[in-house]
C-alpha cells in the first residue's frame, strides 16, 4: 500500500475595513515554491498531539499568531490534488482581529485572489461560506474584533458578513439573547463628536465556545 501524504492547511481570515481577507504566505519548497498559498504543512507524528495541534503549530511558525479562534473545516483528499501522490489535508479555519495580523503574511481580499496552488481556492471558498453561514445564527463574528468592542462596531461586522443592513433594535435583542457579552467600564470616547458607546468583552466562557441562536440573526 502506497503511503498517504498527511497535511494540515489553515484558512486564516480577518476583516480589514469592509473586506474579508485571507492570509497567504510564500511557499518555501517545491512544489509551487515561491507562490502564494495557505499556511500549512506535513503533520508531524513526533511533534503534534493531533491535527488541531498541527494547525496551531503551522499558524505560530508561519504567521506568528498564537491564540486565534480555530475550528476544523473539512478534509480534502485525493489522488490528483498534489503531484507528489495520494494526499489528504485536514483544513482548519481561524479568525483574528486584523490588529494582531503579522507582517509575515500577505493579506488579500477574498474577491481578488490570484490562482492558488493545489485546491487551496476551494478551501478558501468553503471557509468563507462557513463563516457567512454561521454569522446568521451564532456569535462567531465576535472573533474578528479586538476586545473590547462596541455594539455598533459588532453590528457593522455582522452587516459586512451577511451583506445586508440590520435592524438596530432587533440586533441588540439577539445579542442580548446570546448572553455572551459583558460591559466593560470605560467608554469609546477617543474625542469623537458624539455620544460614546459602551464597551463590551466576551464572557470568559466564550473563548472557543460559540453561542447559537434558536431562530437566527
When asked if residue 167 is in the footprint of DNA (CB under 7 A), the reply is yes
Nearest-Å Rg of the Cα atoms of the chain is: 19
Looking up cell 457579552 gives 181
CB closer to its own copies out of 41 and 148: 41
Taking CB under 8 A as the criterion, the residue among 15, 22, 56, 90 binding its own copies is 90
Helix 151-162 vs helix 168-178: crossing angle, to nearest 10? 100
**Which of DNA, its own copies, none does 189 bind, CB closer than 5 to 8 A by kind?**
DNA
Contact in structure between 10 and 94 (CB atoms under 8 Å): yes
Contact in structure between 30 and 172 (CB atoms under 8 Å): no
**Which of its own copies, DNA, none does 173 bind, CB closer than 5 to 8 A by kind?**
DNA
Taking CB under 7 A as the criterion, the residue among 31, 85, 196, 207 binding DNA is 196
Taking CB under 8 A as the criterion, the residue among 18, 30, 49, 164 binding its own copies is 49
Instruction: Please give the backbone phi and psi of residue 123, each rounded to the nearest 5 degrees, phi first.
Output: -65, -45
Q: Which residues bind DNA (CB under 7 A)?
A: 150-152, 167-170, 172-173, 187, 189, 191-198, 215, 217
Amino acid at each position: 500500500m502506497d503511503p498517504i501524504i498527511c497535511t494540515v492547511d489553515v484558512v486564516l481570515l480577518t476583516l480589514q475595513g469592509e473586506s474579508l481577507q485571507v492570509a497567504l504566505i510564500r511557499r518555501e519548497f517545491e512544489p509551487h515554491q515561491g507562490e502564494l498559498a495557505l499556511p500549512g504543512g506535513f503533520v508531524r507524528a513526533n511533534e503534534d498531539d493531533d491535527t488541531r495541534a498541527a494547525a496551531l503549530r503551522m499558524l505560530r511558525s508561519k504567521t506568528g499568531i498564537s491564540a486565534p479562534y480555530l475550528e476544523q473545516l473539512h478534509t480534502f483528499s485525493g489522488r490528483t490534488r498534489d503531484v507528489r501522490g495520494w494526499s489528504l489535508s485536514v483544513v482548519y479555519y481561524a479568525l483574528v482581529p486584523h490588529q494582531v495580523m503579522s507582517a509575515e503574511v500577505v493579506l488579500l481580499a477574498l474577491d481578488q485572489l490570484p490562482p492558488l496552488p493545489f485546491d487551496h481556492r476551494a478551501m478558501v471558498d468553503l471557509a468563507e461560506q462557513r463563516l457567512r453561514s454561521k454569522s446568521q445564527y451564532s456569535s462567531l463574528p465576535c472573533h474578528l474584533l479586538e476586545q473590547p468592542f462596541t455594539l455598533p462596531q459588532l453590528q457593522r461586522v455582522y452587516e459586512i458578513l451577511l451583506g445586508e443592513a440590520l435592524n438596530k433594535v432587533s440586533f441588540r435583542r439577539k445579542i442580548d439573547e446570546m448572553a455572551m457579552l459583558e460591559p466593560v467600564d470605560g467608554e469609546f470616547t477617543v474625542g469623537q463628536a458624539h455620544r460614546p458607546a459602551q464597551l463590551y468583552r466576551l464572557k470568559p466562557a466564550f473563548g472557543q465556545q460559540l453561542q447559537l441562536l434558536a431562530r437566527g440573526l
